[in-house]
Chains A and B, each alone.
Chain A
Amino acid sequence: MENFNVNRIDKEDISVLYISGFLDAHTAPELEEAIQKLIDGQRYKLVINFKDLSYISSAGLGVFMGFIEQIREHSGDIKMSNMTPKIFRVFDLLGFPTLYDIVEDETLAIIKFRS
């Protein structure tokens, strides 16, 4: 059964998290842990690549809400990329596009950090 996975690749000062599977109240702590680890290591520039994420609930969205303030206080950001229309719709329903940088492609998210 498909569950949830987080893989991380660091590109200089930017960390890209590739998330896959189902992000719900059961799996959200795993993502929380991965982001907390980055913050503990003082890495505040995050790109979340949603390409292989097949499901998200409000518990998953809550993870990003829980960290964004702290990350931006350190001149960092959480940028999001490669969302399928299904995932984007949930973000859109909750008004996230006005608060988060959601871009089509991971490369674009990295360019935005560099510029």
Chain B
Amino acid sequence: MKPKLKAEYKLRIPSDTDNLELIRSFVAKVAEKVGFIPDDICKIELACDEACTNVMKHAYDQSSKNTSLDVIIKIDYQKFTLVVTDHGKGFDPDTIKMPNVKEYLAELKVGGLGIYLMRTLMDEVDYDIKPGVQNQVRMVKYFLDKKKPGLVNTAKGV
């Protein structure tokens, strides 16, 4: 089946690690439906897991009433955009740096590698942070010539 060239898929789900598997299945199924190859589906799935795990671990405290998160996928002619939104305490995006992985691993510290992975796996990653109101991580994967016909990209050096 040829996928629609413009579509939006949305999942609203409790911010609980118990739901990671379900979120990954949702994202992987949509990525597959729009024609990504298995290798790219794995990358999108992992990047989404890392973004959602960050929300589940850090966005809300025990006093939070609304502890849901939204995973929205927007498909247009050239790209697959994945937006993870929470309503928690947010963070200062200026404090997020690409970690020096070698240094980091040498110190054998736990955690913090999720953001590095997201930036490595996806073509674009950016943040829109409004603490307590809405925090978004937006990630983009471009359709390249390796996917199904009908979604051929001309925007990214292809």
Contact = CB atoms under 8 A, between A and B. Distances in A.
Interface residues of B, number: 27
Interface string A79-106: 0000000100110011110110000000
Given A22-B21, A86-B42, A58 B114 contact: yes
Interface string B14-43: 000110110010000000000000000010
Given A26-B21, A55-B24, 17 more contacts: A22-B20, A25-B17, A25-B53, A55-B45, A57-B49, A57-B50, A58-B53, A58-B114, A62-B113, A65-B105, A65-B108, A66-B110, A69-B108, A93-B117, A94-B113, A95-B102, A99-B106
A6 B66 CA distance: 34
A24 B49 CA distance: 8
A30 to B, nearest CB: 12
B46 A99 contact: no
B111 A62 contact: yes
A1 B102 CA distance: 36
Q: How large is the interface on A (under 10, 10 to 19, 20 to 34, 35 or more residues)?
A: 20 to 34
Interface of B: 17-18, 20-21, 24, 42, 45-46, 49-50, 53, 56-57, 101-102, 105-106, 108-111, 113-114, 116-117, 120-121
